Amino acid sequence: MIAATSLGFVVVQLDVTVVNVALPRIATELHAGVEVLQWVVDAYALAFAVLLLSAGSLGDRFGSKRLFMFGFALFAVASIACGLAPTGAALIAGRAIQGVGAALLVPTSLALLNHAAGHDDKVRARSVGLWTAASGAAIAAGPLVGGLLLGTLGWRSIFLVNIPICAIGLVMAARVPDTVKHADARRLDPRGQALAILALTGLIGAVIEARPLGATHPIVLVGGALAIVCGWGFVVAERRSHSPMVPPEMFRGAALTPLIAFGTIVNLTYYGIIFIISLYLQQLLGYSAIQAGVAYLPLTATFIVANLVSGWLTGRAGPRTPMVIGAIVGATGFALLLLLGATSRYSSMIVAFILIPGGMGLAVPAMTTATLAAVDRKWAGTVAALLNTARQAGGAIGVAIFGALVGRGREHIVGGLHASSVASSALLLGAAMLAWLGVKSAPGSGRPATKA
């Protein structure tokens, strides 16, 4: 069970970061600018984010196994399209379809895992720890895998390598027991889904295009207006809907708001910084693709260890402690990036490359466990989708904002890295405060409650 569900999350998370190390090569071969590269990253994250809630509710209503297997198949087809893409536009389209497959895989995999854990919070904490350890390793190993593939087989291979992974996942998923189908689960909310898609697309599109087109360009202004109007419309529509995407009952007596905000901040900071560091290592310091991939090795090892420690600590102390400690450790790592310059040696990066994944790896499993424990099991798919929607939207926004700070040339990379580091440290310290004030759990319970 854990192996099958983890593999689904692995292939999703691998493609979040594996593409980063290939960005300079893609830019050269497809004649793409920074804004195209941002869309290559964000088309995936955007499609992933906006469809997660619908995927979660479908899993709750019809059972998660069928959607989980379809997600593997769609992800494989989209990976072939990316690997064969002749232009930047075609690659962006393929990445968007990959995001749809990812949206089907993640909430259903977590729902299947949660169903298997039953009502045992310690079993859930350990299972989620292993699940996130696998995904954390995939996130951290992405640049290394990408660098090795890029240096030997070319950038298209980073997408085609998904085919055997998805094939194995389909075989393993066939043996996984399905979740219970809930007849009272919500129907799809097409109006809410449409408004969510338009709001997120408008926001991220406006941020990405603001630098090349200018803040007053009609496309940017329309995107910003679309984000505001549709975002407000989504809130109103959900309150009035008889079958909302996000049921208000889920928030009664639960600390979901600080948990969702925490997850958004974690992804915004991490994915935004990784985007810039990939450009920093290769375009400024002159690392080859393989050298850049090897440079990320400390992230891989630290992520795995921190995820496993988090599962153990959450089972004994509850989720708040690892969330607070992890956020503070991550903030410290981001702050150390301020020491990097245009001629820095790798030795000056190692401590930051250990603290950042160490903090993230400690915090995320605890946050995920707390979120699952906060609601009734019939909403497991929905709350997993809600959390991951917020996280993926945060990641897309981080790439859009931090990428805009880099500018058009190499001379802007260090300044953008420093500005992003300051913002990331401040946001993570705020996340630590959110966890401390908003999540309260008894040792070993794993159940959060709003702090009085």
User: Does residue 182 register a pLDDT over 60?
Assistant: no
Domain boundary among 222, 244, 266: 244
Q: What's the confidence (pLDDT) of residue 333?
A: 95
User: Does residue 357 register a pLDDT over 70?
Assistant: yes
Whether 213 and 362 map to the same domain: the answer is: no
450 confidence band (pLDDT: 50, 70, 90): very low
User: Does residue 323 register a pLDDT over 70?
Assistant: yes
Cβ contacts of 312 within 8 Å, gap of 6 or more: 126, 129
Whether the predicted model's global pTM rises above the 0.75 cut:
no
Whether 446 maps to a domain, the answer reads no
Whether 253 and 367 map to the same domain: the answer is: yes
Whether 394 and 362 map to the same domain: the answer is: yes
Cβ contacts of 336 within 8 Å, gap of 6 or more: 351, 352, 355
Whether 444 maps to a domain, the answer reads no
Whether 66 and 197 map to the same domain: the answer is: no
Q: What number is the average pLDDT over the span 70-81? A: 92
Q: What's the confidence (pLDDT) of residue 376?
A: 67
Q: What's the confidence (pLDDT) of residue 229?
A: 94
Residue 395: which domain range?
A: 2-186+245-438
Q: What's the confidence (pLDDT) of residue 408?
A: 58
Whether 168 and 284 map to the same domain: the answer is: yes
Whether 226 and 361 map to the same domain: the answer is: no
Whether 282 and 423 map to the same domain: the answer is: yes
Whether 198 and 216 map to the same domain: the answer is: yes
CA distance 7 to 3: 6
290 confidence band (pLDDT: 50, 70, 90): confident
Tens of pLDDT, residue by residue over 409-440, are 566 788 889 999 999 999 999 999 988 887 76
Report the domain count for the chain: 2
Whether 288 and 381 map to the same domain: the answer is: yes
Whether 266 and 402 map to the same domain: the answer is: yes
Domain boundary among 244, 278, 293: 244
Q: What's the confidence (pLDDT) of residue 148?
A: 81
Whether 236 and 384 map to the same domain: the answer is: no
For residues 380 and 6, the answer to whether their CB atoms sit within 8 Å is: no
18 confidence band (pLDDT: 50, 70, 90): confident
Q: What's the confidence (pLDDT) of residue 180?
A: 53
Whether 121 and 196 map to the same domain: the answer is: no
CATH of the domain at 103: 1.20.1250.20
